[in-house]
Structure 1
Amino acid sequence: MADINVEALKNFANSKAEKKLVAVDKDLAQAIQNLLKISKYYTGEMDGIVGNGTLDAFAKYKQEHWLEYPDTLGPTTASSLLEILEKHQGSTDQPQPSSGSQSSKTGQSMKLPSGKIVYSDERIIDTIPLTWGEVTAKCTRVPENKQVVDNIEKIARVFAEVRDKYGSPLGVTSGYRPPAINRQIGGARASQHITGNALDIYPTDGNLKRLYEVCKAIPSVVGLGSGMHRGFVHIDARPGGRTYWNYP
């Protein structure tokens, strides 16, 4: 497989531009072909030439990811394509069910800004079944300052409300993202994940629709994003008024 020109796609994702796929430059087209091939949509050559095979694969990808305009590349589609590479490289947040087991000072450790050492299997708050590992990708994403730690503790309490009302275990697909990680995956520039104030969650029993409705009924869930077709519900505790949205 050819090297993927990730920078070309990242730059496009940040540009707010839109182009017909047939009009993008060769490097960008080749990057898209590679990503579509990784995700089993494209079987042709990675030659940077946008022919019918590339267009068909691109259109199928967009349809299955609820993205509009099957022949057009925009920032949302570019960001979505970047997620393919992250998953392929194993660098994405891996879904981790919150089992409800007791806190344990085991697993990988990290030092918080206060100097305290915490462990991947250690609960953020003793009474809440949510661990540092679930929120920080197994302690590989060290909070940058005390405010991030405070926000992580805050969203942990919101998580506890959701879990209690839902009545069964929940997993986490994405938690805290330092700015560099958020940029790498094409996350929103003002994402609440950057401040440690958000979680993308899923129910282990698979009933995402019910989870969304439960979250909607909880006032402490201020930001609520419907990513059910992607396998998660986004919750955050941002300042300000309540906000709802659907992921493309």
Structure 2
Amino acid sequence: MLFQDRTDAGRKLARALTKYKAQHPVVLALPRGGVPVAAEVAAALDAPLDLVLVRKIGVPSQPELAMGAVTDGGEPAIVRNREIIEMCGISTQEFDAVCDRELAEIERRRNRYLGGRARAEVEGQVVIIVDDGIATGATTLAAIKAVRARKPKELVLAVPVAAFDTVKKLQAEVDAIVCLDTPEELGAIGYFYCDFRQVDDEEVVAILKCFPASRALHTSSDSA
């Protein structure tokens, strides 16, 4: 499957998530690439939109190779990829140094993207985590753990494309996975998009301005 861009992928993903609209879900995007995808999902499902601030912890000599990931929060969720850490001979000090840099970037993004914006209510809600694709799954797993700690009623992972083996590994971490394409050989997420240009901070901020992070509580009379 080939998507024109993240907007196209989001619209196609939203169609696969239609059944959740009646459950009044909350959509959480992984910035930056997941935000345009999630915006289309939130629009289609009439859902609040918020972010899960998560950063990959890359191997110092190969930053694109994930040796873990870390998320925002009072107690940040840190995921370690033991196999990569051992294979690359990464010391605890090296891991912690990169982790601290990524936490600083998370803080920058929180201030830039969210400022004084209200945050979505997650506890007791159906929550849909959205990204533009998943390769190794390290950042996704960190995001899932962080959101799960906030006690959602149901946790759904939704992406346009993800590696088949990664989807299998993540199935036990969520209540459902909606993925449009699960190639056995992913290569790179960008291969599945005609336009995979980088999403910048300004685009994230502009999208968030179009969507509230919360809404009035639904009552039984609302759904009658």
TM range (shorter): under 0.3
TM-score, normalised by the number of residues in structure 2? 0.23
CA radius of gyration, larger in: 1
The TM-score normalised by the length of structure 1 is: 0.22
